[in-house]
Amino acid sequence: MRLSKARREIVTAVMKDTIAEAADSVLQQHGVGGMTMDRVATTAGLATASLYNYFRDKEELVQFIYARVVEPFFQAIEETAKAKLPAPRKLEIILRTALEHAVRHKGLIRLLAGAQQGDQIRRESRPRSLRIFVAIFEQGIREGSFRPHNSSQTGRLFLASLGELFELQMDGASDVEVKEFVDVLIDTVLKGFSLHPEKTPNSGEAGPSPSGP
């Protein structure tokens, strides 16, 4: 009995998700160098030949997995952006969410280091991210959380910093190093953009004289 077109599409979607989960599991267990189509097929309970009915090659599979990981991340930060929260808190939550994704999917992120698929998805996602961040900085200015500034530029700065978080993972940084980087970013968001920054000496003032021996 032949399946209808709609049912075939459902079966295909389910199988692709199953294969993607298997690939993610292989990455977690065997690392970047150990991810092969044979291992993915075995983990998914398929013959390797059957795997190619759903993905032409490893590159297409990787692109599918990456998109599958990226979309939930964007949905999470969009929900945060819409929440009734102060702007600094929104940025902190976004950074924590990014840290969680960077650690959970570090195998995939490292696999995509320098890959064309990763570059393409990052380029496509950039305008979407920038709109969110600019809107949050504009909210912060309106509510008095942030001092008046060019929100377009700080939005770009925040986006670049977030990108560096994933670059750290691509470079093989440890989870501790990545977390420390996020902590610094959060500290910058909460204090560096504060409406009442700590007072510092004027640039023309001399600092305290060093103590003698």
pLDDT of residue 154: 92
Nearest-angstrom CA–CA distance, 146 and 162 = 19
pLDDT digits (tens, 9 = 90+) for 42-92: 999 999 999 999 999 888 888 888 777 778 888 899 999 999 999 999 999
For residues 32 and 111, the answer to whether their CB atoms sit within 8 Å is: yes
pLDDT of residue 24: 82
Q: The domain 57-192 is classified under which CATH number: 1.25.40.10, 1.20.1250.20, 1.10.357.10, 2.40.50.100? A: 1.10.357.10
DSSP string, the chain: -PPPHHHHHHHHHHHHHHHHHHHHHHHHHHTTTT--HHHHHHHHT--HHHHTTT-SSHHHHHHHHHHHHHHHHHHHHHHHHHSSS-HHHHHHHHHHHHHHHHHHTHHHHHHTTT-HHHHHHHHHHHHHHHHHHHHHHHHHHHHTSB-S--HHHHHHHHHHHHHHHHHHHHTT--HHHHHHHHHHHHHIIIIITBSSPPP---TTS--PPPPP-
pLDDT of residue 133: 95
If one compares 114 and 54, the residue with the highest pLDDT of the two is 54
What's the pTM value of the predicted model, to 2 decimals?
0.71
CA-nearest of 81, 73, 76 to 109 is 73
The domain spans of the chain are: 1-55, 57-192
pLDDT digits (tens, 9 = 90+) for 84-112: 999 999 999 999 999 998 888 887 777 76
Q: The domain 1-55 is classified under which CATH number: 1.10.10.60, 3.40.50.11540, 3.40.50.2300, 3.90.1300.10? A: 1.10.10.60
If one compares 7 and 42, the residue with the highest pLDDT of the two is 42
pLDDT digits (tens, 9 = 90+) for 120-148: 667 778 898 999 999 999 999 999 999 89
pLDDT of residue 114: 56
Q: Would you say the CATH fold of 57-192 matches that of 1-55?
A: no
